[in-house]
Every structure is written in C-alpha cells, then in structure tokens.
Amino acid sequence: MGLSTLVGAAEPAVLVIHGATGDVAKRWVLPALASLAHQGLLPSRWRLVGCGRGRMSDGRFRDIAEEALREFGPPGDPARTASLLDGLRFAGGGFTVADPGELPAAVRAARADIGGDPIVVHYLGIPPAAFAETARAIAAHGLADGARVVFEKPYGTSPETFEALDGLVRATFDECQVFRIDHFLAKAPIRVLTGIRAASRVIGHLWSREHVEQVQIEVCETLDVAVRAGFYDATGAVLDMLATHLMQVLAEVVLEPPDDMAGLQKAREAALAAIRPIDPADVVLGQAAGYRDLPDVPADSTTETYAAARLWVDTDRWRGVPFVLRTGKQLAEAQQNVTLVLKEPDGKGWSNRPPETVTLALLGDGQVWLDVRVGQRSDVDAAAATRLAFDVPRATGAPPLPAYAWLMLDVLRGDQDAFPSSEALRQAWRVVDPLLRARPPVQSYVPRSWGPAEANRLAAPLRWRGSE
C-alpha cells in the first residue's frame, strides 16, 4: 500500500502563503511542505504563491525559500526539494481591501498552469493583528469562494478579541473553509490517541477515574525567548501555551471517543465544555530571573515565562480527578509529556515505589510508554519499575511526519479533525477567562530549575513526573 493511499490523497491546489518571507513561513510552513515532498505526499498538480508587502522577482523568492529550507528543512532528496519550488511565484505589493497588489493575477496564472479547478488555500503566516484585514481582502477580491483559509495562533488574545475575530471570519467563510492551527493536536501520540483508546482494551480500560489518580500535562523548555522577546512579552506563557496548546491537548485526553471519527471536533467541544473555569488560586505563575534584562523587555515587566494550573473535568469518566498542567521557559529539561498516574491497588503498601503510569511522549516522532512494576511473587516489596514503549509511527505504519507537515496535508485533503473548531476555542477561552481577570502574582525562579517551588502544591500529594 502506498503512502498516499494510507494517509489520503491531497487535491490539486494553489497554496498562497501570506507573509511568505516571515518567520512562520521559513521555520514551519516551507519545511512542512518539504517533508511532504520527500514522502511523495504533495498533490501531483500544485503551485506555491508567496505574498508579501515588498516586491521581488520569482527568482529572488525562490532563493529565500531555498535558504529557509537549508536552515530549517528536513534532510532528504535534493531533487524532491527542487520540485517543491518548481513554478513558484511571488505576489508583491501587499494585500488589502483597498489594494490587492499582485495576488489575484498570480493566483489566476497559477490556476492556469495547473489546469482544471484546483482549490486555493490561503495560509495566514502573518501577525494576528492582520488576520481581520486579510480575511476581508480575500473576500473583497473574489478569492474566498471554495477556498480554504488557515489561521495561525493566537486566534484572539481574550474572549472578547476572539469573538470579534471569529464573528468576522464566520461572516466571510463557511466553517468548513476555516482551519485554525494548533500543531499540538497533530503530534503523533495525540493524533492517534482516540484510536488507541478505542482499539486497545488495556489502555482503554485504564482511561478513567476508576484507575487514574491524577493526569499531568507538561511542556517544559530549556530555551529562553531572547530571539522574540518583544513578541513574548506581549503574550506570556498563559496565552502562548496554557490557553491554547495545553487546553486542546487536555480536551483530547478527556473527550469521549465518538462512534465515527468524523465527530472528533464535536467530541473535543463537549470535552472543553465540561472543564470548570479555572480558579486563579489553583494557578502559579513564574518569571525566569534575568528575563527583564533581555532586549525589548521592560525593566518592570510582569510577563510570566512559566505557568502551572490545576483543573477539574465534570464528566462521569473524570469527575474528581485533578488535571495538573505546567509549561515554561528555561526549565531544567526539555519535556513534552501527558502522563496518567495510576491509582495504587487497594491494600498494597507500595507508596515508597514509583507509581505506575501511562505516558504520551510528544517530542520527536512520539512514543507511548507504560511504566509498570515487575517483581517476584515472594518479594513484592522489591518490585522494580520497568518501561514498555512503542513508537507511534512504527506501530501505526504512518510516515514519521512533523506536526506541521501533517496539518498541511490535512488542509490539502480538507480534513479538519486535527483543527480546533470555533466552539472549541470559545470554550477554552471560557475556562481561562477567570485567570485573565485575576492573575496571581508572578514569582521569580532560577533559570534551568523546575520553576517556582510553590507549583509543587498543585500536584501534591504526588510529584511532577517530569521532575523525577
């Protein structure tokens, strides 16, 4: 069976990258397309059009794209990388309601090159402040009909700004045309989680409050924010991670698997609707010492580089189980894990032993771990922990694509399962809104530590698994 059969074929398309010379395009979109090219998963007929404010030749844009792929792209067949850039065009002069620049003509020419009736995909790799004007311009210049539009995060920075943007988007496009990026939903273990729960009696049986003591979701980074300190200071860990990626991963963990996987978006919406609004008393915010010394960061900045929270889910499956989430910069180790800490068997005094756990490891190609105890019948006190693990791509037969490549393939196929719906984002904003209105004080922490010590109380009486 070929890969295109396994993952689904992509349609002929004209892909327009708005902000084509910006950081998002260079670091994520172009490398994702290169990954698809190396796997032979791009459409057989397609064209790439870059759009930006400046004017440049197609050749100059090709040079910029090639440079980005040398720095950020995957290793692979140079011939496939070259084919990625065949027929590449650049449409300069900006793109607004008042002035469409060169884009309409470039799209018409690209469609003529392909022939037939290819879809047009608009990827908005631009600052969020430009989302609304660009959406209006797409409609004003006749480029919305039948098109797909991809919005980067953050899709709003508060419940109010979310509603304003989403109202405009939904008035301009049908919901089936809109793809709101959250690349954590495309990480390999998250992508197959619902299927694993449905197919595996072992994991599916454990996935409830009957067996789970606590669920921990940790995204810990060792890097600082020096290269984008100005952007980060206006955002912080709550908006950058907690209100976005971590909330969507939490929804994927707690949702009820639908009978038909086409209902995954609705299942995610229902899961988010069941999460209680966050209690600011159950939140710890931190700022790495030295953060205020970075260029473009005010000397009195209170922006958090660390956030930890405890949340509760009011469903029959999860009622009473604490969900503890943490994320931060300049922490001791780079980790991205979802861990279900299992309850101790009744009457077994093994509190001095590491608990048994089920872990989804999100970094790299993705693994699922089961940490279980193994011991002699005659000496259960000496039971030791051992790890059973499998690689998701190897186990499922899917190609080991990075998250952004999966999302680009999904857009080209018209598959919205791994994209948050409007209602899912609305519910996520409802959950975090109390924190936005009443933030706890930000505590300083030592870089390359595990953040403020006070966050340990959120996981008590257990410990954060990533710190062990």
CA–CA gap between residue 239 and residue 257 (Å, rounded): 28
Q: For residue 326, list its beta bridge partners.
A: 218, 308
Task: For residue range 217-237, list pLDDT tens digits in order.
Answer: 999 999 988 777 878 898 999
How sure is the predictor about 395, in pLDDT bands with cuts at 50, 70 and 90? confident
CA–CA gap between residue 84 and residue 77 (Å, rounded): 11
Q: Is there a catalytic annotation at residue 183? A: no
Say which residues have a Cβ less than 8 Å from residue 128's Cβ, sequence separation at least 6: 152, 153, 154, 155, 156, 157
Rounded to an integer, the average pLDDT of 339-363 is 79
Torsion 466-189-2-114 (CA) sign: negative
For the chain, list the domains and their CATH numbers.
3-152 (3.40.50.720), 184-402+441-467 (3.30.360.10)
pLDDT exceeds cutoff 90 at 216: yes
CA–CA gap between residue 186 and residue 407 (Å, rounded): 7
Task: For residue range 114-160, list pLDDT tens digits in order.
Answer: 998 999 999 999 988 899 999 999 999 999 999 999 999 889 999 99
Nearest CA to 192 among 28, 367, 1? 367
Torsion 413-414-415-421 (CA) sign: positive
pTM of the model: 0.91
Q: Which long-range contacts (CB under 8 A, 24 or more apart) does 349-353 make?
A: 350/380, 350/381, 350/383, 353/383, 353/385
Query: Which one is catalytic: 18, 122, 183, 245?
Result: 245
